[in-house]
Amino acid sequence: MTRTWFITGASRGLGRAFAEAALAKGDRVAAVARTTSALEELAAAHPGRVLPVTADLTDRAQAFTAIGAAAEHFGRLDVVVNNAGLLSAGMVEEFTEAEAREQMELNFFGALWVSQAAMPVLRGQGGGHLVQISSIGGLGGFPTTGLYSASKFALEGMSEALAMEGAPFGVKVSIVQPGGYWTDLYSAMRTTTPIEAYAPLRAELEKQWAESSIDSEPRLAAEALVKLVDAQDPPLRLLLGSMVYDLAFDLAKQRMATWAGWEETSRAAEKAVPAPAPAPSPAPAEGQ
Residues annotated as catalytic are 134, 148, 152
Distance CA(8)–CA(55), nearest Å, equals 9
Interior angle at CA 255, CA 250 and CA 259, nearest 5: 150
CB 205 within 8 A of CB 90: no
Q: What beta strand segments (E) does 48-184 contain?
A: 50-54, 79-82, 88-89, 128-133, 171-178, 180-181
- φ/ψ region of 48 (left if φ > 0, alpha if ψ in -120 to 50, else beta) reads left
Residue in 189, 85, 170 with CA at minimum distance from that of residue 134: 85
* Strand 79-82 to 128-133 pairing: parallel
Phi first, then psi, for residue 79 (nearest 5°) are -130, 120
Other CB atoms within 10 Å distance of the CB of residue 234: 16
Residue in 55, 53, 3 with CA at minimum distance from that of residue 25: 3
Dihedral sign for Cα atoms in the order 64, 30, 37, 34: positive
